[in-house]
Structures are given as C-alpha cells and as structure tokens.
Amino acid sequence: MNRSTPRPARPDPSQSAADTARALGARRAAASALRHVVERRVAMDDALQRALARGGELDHRDAQLARSITTIALKHLGGLRKALDARLEKGLAATPPELAATLIVGATQILFMAIPAHAAVDCAVELTRADRRLSGLAGVANAVLRRISSEKDALLEDHDPVADLPDWLARRWRETYGEAKLQKIAAALALEPTLDVTPLSEATDWAERLDGALMPTGSIRLRSLAPVETLSGYQEARWFVQDAAAALPAKLLSAQAGERVLDLCAAPGGKTAQLAATGASVIAVDRSSARLKRLKENLNRLHLTAQVVTADAAAWSGESADAILLDAPCASTGTIRRHPDVAWTKSEDDVRSLAALQSRLIDHAIDLLKPGGRLVYSTCSLEPEEGEQQIESLLRRRSDVRLDPIAAGEAPGLADAIDAHGALRTTPDLWPDPQPRLAGLDGFYAARLRRAG
C-alpha cells in the first residue's frame, strides 16, 4: 500500500456498541411509554418522561425519536393492531404485552416513518432477544415485521383512518356527525398538527416576519419547522403558541379595558393572556397550583398582569364580574390531532362525569356574573354532552340566562362552523389547505350567554 494512502479507519467497537444501545434505548422507551398510555391511561408526556428516565443516557436526538415513535404509534394504533393481529398465528390478544408493544413500535417505523425497515426489524428482534421472558419469540418478531415490511404498500393503500380510533370513539362520532364527517375527522387526525401562534399586536407584521400565514381569525399559522424558541419575537414575548381554534373563545368574550373579567379553569394561561392584553382587570382561577405556576411564568414572559387565584372554580366566590370565560375541563377529544394519547386515555365514563362537572361550573359561573353580563362557555371536546347538550340543558333549567348568538363576522372564515343557534362548533377537518401540514383546527365548542339584567 502506498504510504501516502491513509489506512482505512478501523470500526470503534465501543462507539458501535454505544450507538446500538442508544438505538435500542429509544425504541425501548417508546414501547414502555406506549404501554403506560394504553394500559394505565397515563398521559403521553408523563409516560415518556418516566420511560426516558429509566432508559439511561439518551441524547436529545434519541429522546425525540422515542417521542416521535410513540406519537405516531398512538395516531395509528387501531390500524397497527389490526395489521399485526392478522399476521400473528394466535392474534395480538394472545401475545405477551411486552412483545405486542415492541411489534407496534416496529410496525410504526416501517409503515409511517422514514426509518429503514431493516433497522426497525433488527431493533425489535434485539429488544425481544434481550428480554429473557421473550427471547424465544425473537423469531416471531422477525417474521411478523418482515411480513409487514413486504406488504407495506398494500397495507397503506388499504389503510382506513377510522380504524385508527378506539371503537367507542368511532361509534360516538359516527352517531353524532355521520359517516362522511367521521371519515374527514379521522383523516385530519392522522396528519401532522399545525403550529399556530397568537400575536399580541401587529399581526400582519409578525406573520411576515415569521413566514407564516395570517388567518382571518387573527392567528398566525407557521410554515417553519424550526424550534419555537429560536423564532423571531419569542424572546421578546411578542406572541405565544396557541391553536387557532383555542384562540376563539377569548375573542368571542370581547373583553374591554377596565372591565372585571374572570377566567375560570384558567391554566395553562393562553386565554388569560389574551384577556389581559385587552386591558381588562383579569382574575385567573384554577385549582392546580402547579399549572398556575406555568400560567404565571407565561404572563411574566409576555409582560402581562392578572390576579391569580388557586381555588376550585366550582366553589370560588368573589365580586361579580362584567364578563366570564369558562373553558371547562372536558374529555379533550377535539385535541387528538395534537395529543393522540387522549383517544386511548379517555372513556365514555369520563365524558359523563365531566359533563356533570361542567353543569356545576356553568351554574356557578352565572351566579358570579353581573346582571347583563356575558359569559363564554367553551370546551375542546367533540362530544355533544360537553357542548350542545350542555347549553340546551342550561337554558331549560335557568330562566335568567339566554344565548347571545355569535355572528359570522366574529369568526371569519368559519361561518359554516356556527350552528343554527349561534354557537360555534369547530372540527379537526375544517380549514383545508393544499399543504396538509397547514390544514386543520382543534375541535372546540363555544357558546356566548347573557345574564338577565
């Protein structure tokens, strides 16, 4: 060999082993988080935090990979289970849960992520082999995932987004919205969620500076995929992250400078910030001190002020208010495109129990309202018990309150989302765009009420 020719670098066994350990660690964390979400109904963020803490040293990139796998697996969980069930001799239900989670993680990468199929298969096989309880099933993992890989095109072509939903939720939405609307909602939930921000002022200018699309409602939809904290205006607190639909309830309240305004169930504080920016005297009430800490941090960052009260909004008493925003605790099914774990951590029992709480909250909120005052009730839920039926029931039992219909001009671009009674109902399939990642809204219900005066 010529002396001027460098010798080929020898592989570093320790580096190779470290890379393999991190690759396996990311997949192991994803499988663990997935099980905690589905089996124990733990929120995805909490499940991932626990899984990553137990997983040893993973760098930021591997932690993000674990998050991506878990998120996408939850978005397509129903369809993934169906595909695996058909390719396991005894079905998915008879498969040890540890192996089932590993197979779901592997299939997620093969079908829905830009990860080489051989890497997804190899990691699943190694994870199975490393678990002494499952080591004898490594061949099963290999065979099933290789079959998923070879049949990928057919699986994706036959993929039905409705199959990704839990049965109870698909049934409810079919009954409430009909089959055609269900299909549209399910397809929207499968897409990458948008990132919207609410500017505190100069919306047109900030849309241009952020290379975003200024929506008719006043929100800015970002095209950039850069980390939020690196974008212009973040450090200066000129805007904050908030889904375009979530920004609507506070706008519909039309708080005015000098008014006394209550924000009940206020945390984490996006709506509080919107209200405080109007110059109103805002009192933010929430029972969670931890969530209120985040609210205070957000207000401080945005240089806004509000009185913050730690209390149960269903029992708190104070001076009556000119206007009240009640964004009530709910099943949050309208946020599944952004938080896919909701589909698997909530149940019909939750919808029923939360609807009972909402009734108590709204009655108490009206009692805190001055005669002639206005109240906006909202939930980020697609369930009628937490929206339309809640208001229908309220109007039947109380004669001192009436609906104050929302006009089309108050929700520009969303006239079709205003129902015959003048309440607002957004669904995830609204706001189409030629670029799928710029389409969609969270599902919200909002109704404005007036107290007799």
Residue 42: both structure tokens together: 């733990």
Q: Which of 123, 265, 330, 380 is catalytic?
A: 380
Residue 53: both structure tokens together: 């803490």
DSSP, residue by residue, 353-371: HHHHHHHHHHHHHHHTEEE
Quick check: is 265 catalytic? no
Residue 102: both structure tokens together: 């590993």
Rounded Cα distance between 279 and 255, Å, is 8
Rounded Cα distance between 104 and 115, Å, is 14
Residue 220: both structure tokens together: 């800015």
Rounded Cα distance between 423 and 417, Å, is 8
Rounded Cα distance between 443 and 315, Å, is 28
Element counts in the chain: helices (H) and strands (E)? 17, 12
- In the block, which residue shows the tokens 């994803």? 30
Do 101 and 35 touch, CB atoms closer than 8 A? Answer: yes
Which residues, other chains included, contact 197 with Cβ-Cβ below 8 Å and sequence gap of 6+? 206, 210, 212, 219, 220, 222, 239, 240, 241, 242
To 10 degrees, the CA torsion angle through 391, 292, 282, 305? -150
Q: At what angle do helices 167-177 and 179-189 cross, to 10 degrees?
A: 130
Rounded Cα distance between 260 and 71, Å, is 41
Rounded Cα distance between 47 and 367, Å, is 39
Rounded Cα distance between 276 and 269, Å, is 10
243 exposed, middle or buried (CB, 10 Å; 0-12, 13-18, 19+)?
Answer: buried
> Of 440, 431, 402, 449, whose CA–CA distance to 249 is shortest?
449
To 10 degrees, the CA torsion angle through 305, 307, 310, 312? -120
* Torsion sign over Cα 366, 368, 370, 375: negative
Q: Where does 200-280 show beta strands of DSSP type E? A: 212-214, 220-222, 239-241, 260-264
Residues belonging to the active site: 380
